[in-house]
Amino acid sequence: MPLVTSLSWSMVIPVKVLALAKSRITGLTGPHRAELALAMAADTVAAAAACPAVGSVIVVTDDEAAAAELSGLGALVLPDEPGDGLNAALSFGAAYSGERWPDRGRAGMAADLPALGAGELARALAGAAGAKHAFVADAAGTGTTLYTAGPGADFCPRFGPGSRAAHRSAGAVELLLPGLDGLRRDVDTVADLRDAARIGLGPRTLAAAGSLG
C-alpha cells in the first residue's frame, strides 16, 4: 500500500523539445531518441499521476507531440513561457500552482525517470511534507531528481551540475529514504537505461527501448 500524506502536491515536470533530448544515448538516431525521450516522460508522468499525494501533474513544454501525449495521461500542459532552461520552467509551473492552489506543496521532478513507481514517489512526498524544502539526490549522488517546497515556502530549484550540494547548501533537507531506486535513477546514457531496466521500466519505455537492441 502506498503511504498517503494529508498534504497534496502539484508536481511540475519540464519536458525538453524532443528533437533536442537525450543526445548522449548512443546507438539511436534522432527520431528514435525522441521516441525514447517521450516514452520516458510518459512513464514518469503516469507514475506521478497515479501517486495519491499528487493533486495535479503540470508539464511545462513547447513540444507539440509531448503536449498531446502527456495531456492524454492527465497532465495539465503549459507552454514554456520563460524559455530559459530547466529551473525557470520549474518555477513557472510552481507559480501557476501557487496562484490556483495555495495550500498545496509544490514539487519539481525530472522527466527521465522510467523506473519510477507511484508508491515510492508517495513515500518521498510523505517524507518531504514536514520540511520547508527537501530533495532527492540522483543515483550518481551529485544531481537531483526531486525538489519540494511546502505551502507558502519560496520555490527555489537548483537542478543542474552539482545540484545536490547546491540544494544542501541552501538548507533543503535531503531525503535519505530506502526504496527510492526508481526515483533516483534518471537516464542520460545507455548505461543509465540499463540500470533503470534492472529496477523495472515503465511500459512505454520498455517498448521504446527495444530500438537499442
Instruction: Please write the tens of the pLDDT for every residue from 93-151.
Output: 999 999 999 999 999 999 999 999 999 999 999 999 999 999 999 999 999 999 999 99
How would you write 13-42 as a 3-class SS string? EECCCHHHCCCCCCCCCHHHHHHHHHHHHH
Question: Does residue 27 have a pLDDT over 80?
Answer: no
Closest to 107 in 3D by CA, of 55, 63, 69? 55
- Residue 149 host element (H or E): strand 144-149
- Residue 98: HSE in the Cβ half-sphere, 13 Å Cα cutoff: 16
DSSP string, 191-210: HHHHHHHHH---HHHHHHGG
The DSSP call for residue 212 is G
Residue 204 to residues 42, 114, 117: CA-CA distances in angstroms? 7, 8, 14
The DSSP call for residue 161 is T
Question: Does residue 213 have a pLDDT over 70?
Answer: no
Structurally, the chain folds into a number of domains equal to 1
- Residue 212 counted as domain residue: no
Q: Looking at residue 127, what is its pLDDT?
A: 97
State residue 183 phi and psi, 5-degree precision. Answer: -65, -30
pLDDT level of residue 2 (50, 70, 90 thresholds)? very low
* pTM passes above 0.95: no
Instruction: Please write the tens of the pLDDT for every residue from 50-87.
Output: 999 999 999 999 999 999 999 999 999 999 999 999 99
- Residue 56 counted as domain residue: yes
- Residue 151 counted as domain residue: yes
- CA distance linking residue 158 with residue 167, whole number of Å: 6
DSSP string, 54-118: EEEEEEE---HHHHHHHHTTT-EEE--SS-S-HHHHHHHHHHHHHHH-TTSEEEEE-S--TT--H
Domain that holds residue 91: 9-206
Residue 24 burial (10 A CB sphere; 0-12, 13-18, 19+): exposed
CATH number, domain of 92, equals 3.90.550.10
- Residue 213 counted as domain residue: no
- Residue 4 counted as domain residue: no
